[in-house]
């Protein structure tokens, strides 16, 4: 029961923090959203700061397990078509998973207040994607699927526009389908530009739709 209550507290904290920010949320309001009194909250967490840090810990683990990270790399694709498909699966998850969307909103708000939120925002919005795709691209080059280049710069060139379009989905949800189409078009353009001739011909880059 105690574990269930802690999980409910963290789930509600994520929802409320992502809407009102850390400073705009108080323990009494959080307790009331769960049908608890303020004193009950302190049986599980000693302070609002403790809730905050536990929430960040939980979301780091959730993101790594379900999306990936430099420590938890996705499987390297066997073709450029598989790279496009893998990219779209990852994008579909990060755009539609409610926990990830709320976490991204929370970090966007709190990155200017909290040093840990700032570091996580940089990791999840930019550096983490580059670090995750750098070894993937290095292996794709070794397989002869991508032209030889500096894998870190190639990973940055690939992930930065995708990350920008994901943030567009957060700001303007009504444009999500359009953004997803743009991401797929960009991914196909990228593999057509940087793929070896043989791999592009095999993948049929630039044609067809990717199942998501």
Distance CA 188, CA 208 (A): 10
Domain annotation for the chain: domains and CATH numbers: 1-55 (1.10.10.60), 67-203 (1.10.357.10)
* Residue 108 C-beta-side C-alpha neighbours within 13 Å: 15
pLDDT at 41: 84
pLDDT at 73: 82
pTM (predicted TM-score): 0.82
Q: So what's the pLDDT on residue 155?
A: 95
Question: What pLDDT does 205 receive?
Answer: 42
Q: Which residues of the chain have pLDDT under 50?
A: 205-212
Q: Residue 131 has what pLDDT? A: 92
pLDDT at 75: 87
DSSP one-letter string for 5-74: HHHHHHHHHHHHHHHHTTTT--HHHHHHHTT--HHHHTTT-SSHHHHHHHHHHHHHHHHHHHT--SSSPP
DSSP type of residue 184: H
């Amino acid at each position: 029961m105690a574990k269930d209550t802690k999980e409910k507290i963290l789930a509600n904290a994520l929802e409320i923090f992502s809407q009102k920010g850390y400073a705009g949320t108080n323990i009494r309001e959080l307790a009331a959203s769960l049908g608890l009194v303020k004193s009950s909250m302190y049986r599980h967490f000693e302070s609002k700061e403790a809730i905050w840090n536990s929430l960040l810990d939980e979301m780091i683990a959730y993101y790594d397990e379900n999306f990936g990270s430099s420590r938890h790399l996705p499987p390297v694709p066997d073709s450029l078509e598989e790279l496009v498909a893998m990219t779209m699966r990852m994008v579909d998850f990060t755009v539609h998973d409610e926990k990830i969307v709320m976490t991204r909103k929370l970090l966007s708000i709190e990155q200017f207040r909290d040093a840990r939120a700032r570091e996580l925002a940089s990791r999840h919005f930019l550096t983490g994607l580059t670090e995750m795709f750098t070894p993937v691209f290095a292996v794709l080059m070794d397989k002869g699927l991508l032209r030889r280049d500096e894998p870190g710069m190639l990973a940055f060139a690939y992930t930065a526009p995708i990350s920008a379009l994901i943030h567009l989905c957060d700001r303007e949800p009504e444009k999500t389908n359009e953004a997803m189409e743009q991401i797929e078009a960009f991914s196909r353009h990228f593999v057509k530009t940087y793929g070896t001739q043989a791999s592009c011909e095999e993948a049929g880059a630039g044609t067809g739709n990717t199942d998501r």
